[in-house]
Amino acid sequence: MNRKAPRIFIVVLVTVAILATMILTALPGSTRTIIADFFGRVFDPVVSFFQSGVESVGSFFSAVSENRQLKDEIDKLEKENSDLRQEVRINEEKVKAYDELEDALNLKSRFKDFEIVGGEVINRSIGPMFDLFRINLGREDGIWVTGDRSYPVLDSQHNLVGRLYSSELGSSRVVPLIHEGFSISSKVSASAGNNFRVRGTVEYKNRRLCLADQIPEGTPLSVGDLIVSSGDGGLYPEGIEIGTVVEIITDSRSNTMQALIDPNTQLEELNYVFVLIDHALPSDSEGK
């Protein structure tokens, strides 16, 4: 019995303590609140630290995911932008080609006796001198250039560009009118007669000018006059615009006159040209 007494005493004390605790914690400002406040001051910073850590990790992964989505969106937009720029360039070329072809219709109505074949400039000469250049028309397009047969080449504004120098299967070379190998019988547009020669020269080639010479005495020629083809020689039809007189050169000793002609065509800006084919002349392709 003596051994059981302390145990009963301990059980009673624990029971009383539990009851007291239950009663006290039920009251405002109780020990529970005080204890909670005490341990809260200790554990709240720890809990806040871990909570902020968890939030930071979550924010990091969320940011990574959002950045990946943003990068995908940027890549998509850049591709769409690139496609749009390419489409704009294509449409600009189509508009330009349409304008060129629209002018070619007017060209056709002007030169009814000729077949008008349009082509693109596919390469130019390199260097300060504008030399022979190539277009994408050749024998497969019905163009056969020989030693005694050539074809005039015009731009879309009906200005003279030059003549064909040679033809291959799918391309041809063009001699521009400022080249020293080019010449044409010409006249003043407003004049009925007095034909003279316009040709390219080495001397004036770098200035992008042609020289008019063999001008008959008394020919009315002044700065600002429009020079056109005379139609003589059989290669160039009459009335093709060549250029404008920019300077008159006179020699008082020989009583001769020459003139510098500024071509109407803009050789450096050519993209499309038109070849005049006269089917009334025999073709070298016949009988082949």
Integer angstrom CA distances of residue 120 from 1, 97, 270:
125, 10, 9
Number of independent structural domains in the chain: 2
Residue 32 lies in a domain: no
One domain for residues 102 and 161? no
Residue 241 lies in a domain: yes
Residue 2 lies in a domain: no
Residue 94 lies in a domain: yes
One domain for residues 175 and 64? no
Long-range CB contact pairs, 124-131, < 8 A, 24+: 128/206, 129/205, 129/206, 130/176, 130/178, 130/179, 130/205, 130/208, 130/267, 130/268, 131/176, 131/179
One domain for residues 229 and 200? yes
Residue 9 lies in a domain: no
Q: Is the pTM of this model over 0.95?
A: no
In tens digits, the chain (288 residues) has pLDDT values of 455 566 676 766 767 666 665 555 555 555 445 554 554 455 456 546 555 655 665 666 676 677 778 777 788 888 878 777 777 766 566 545 545 555 566 777 778 888 888 899 988 664 445 688 999 999 999 899 998 889 999 998 899 999 999 999 999 999 999 999 999 999 999 777 789 999 999 999 989 999 999 999 888 899 999 999 999 988 899 999 999 999 999 887 777 899 999 999 998 888 899 999 986 655 544 434
Q: How many angstroms separate the CA atoms of 9 and 92, rounded? A: 105
One domain for residues 88 and 145? no
Residue 224 lies in a domain: yes
One domain for residues 90 and 182? no
One domain for residues 77 and 183? no
One domain for residues 208 and 97? no
One domain for residues 131 and 271? yes
Domain boundary residue among 110, 138, 154? 110
pLDDT the model gives residue 285: 47
Residue 36 lies in a domain: no
Q: How many angstroms separate the CA atoms of 212 and 250, rounded? A: 12
For the domain that residue 193 is a member of, what is the CATH number? 2.40.10.350
Sequence letter at residue 110? R
Cα dihedral: 54, 58, 64, 70 (round 10): -150
Domain boundary residue among 68, 93, 110? 110
One domain for residues 243 and 140? yes
One domain for residues 50 and 186? no
pLDDT the model gives residue 166: 93
Residue 186 belongs to domain spanning: 118-277
Q: How many angstroms separate the CA atoms of 127 and 106, rounded? A: 34
Residues 6+ apart with CB under 8 A from 173: 132, 133, 134, 135, 164, 165, 166
DSSP letters, 203-234, are HHHTTT-EEEE-PPTT----TT-EEEE--TTS
pLDDT the model gives residue 99: 56
pLDDT the model gives residue 8: 72
Residue 96 lies in a domain: yes
pLDDT the model gives residue 112: 80
Domain boundary residue among 61, 88, 110? 110
